[in-house]
Amino acid sequence: MTDTFMNFAIEQKELAKNKRYQVGAYLTNGVSSHNTHLTEREHPDTTQHAEARIISESARLGIATQGHKIYITLSPCVSCAKLIIQSGITHVYYQELDKKQEFALELLESAGIYYEKSYK
């Protein structure tokens, strides 16, 4: 099932129009789900990382994120890790490790959030 959910995140990644910054995210609690991708960089003021976007969109749509699992095509940055922690997401699965952001994984671990590099 992890691969299936990661595939949904990858589909979102491919929707991002700026090919340099393609990241996709998929959020699910096993019952409901939500997906999104990194916004285009054409409007820098509104650019959000995929994780920030999916969490803020969930808030706007009234979707509780507590207990959800997030599937992302790139491991989170520190800012997104903080959002993940505060939003009550319990599991983080990522496709690729962002080596510049490894501290973010330490933050997740310190908050008791399960994380795993998964998929191919």
Which residue, 32 or 108, is less far from Zn ion as judged by CB?
108
Site string for Zn ion, 38-77 (x = CB under 5 A): -----------x---------------------------x
From 11, 14, 40, 51, the catalytic residue: 51
Minimal distance, residue 83 CB to Zn ion, in Å: 8
Among 9, 80, 85, 108, binds Zn ion (CB under 5 A): 80
Q: Please choose, from the candidates 10, 1, 61, 62, the residue with its C-alpha nearest in 3D space to the C-alpha of residue 36.
A: 10
CA of 33: how far to CAs of 11, 30, 42, 86, 104, in Å?
14, 7, 28, 19, 24
Q: Is 72 helix (H, G, I), strand (E, B) or coil?
A: strand
Tell how strand 91-96 and strand 69-74 pair up. Answer: parallel
For the annotated catalytic residues, the residue numbers are 51
Contacting positions for Zn ion (CB under 5 A): 49, 77, 80
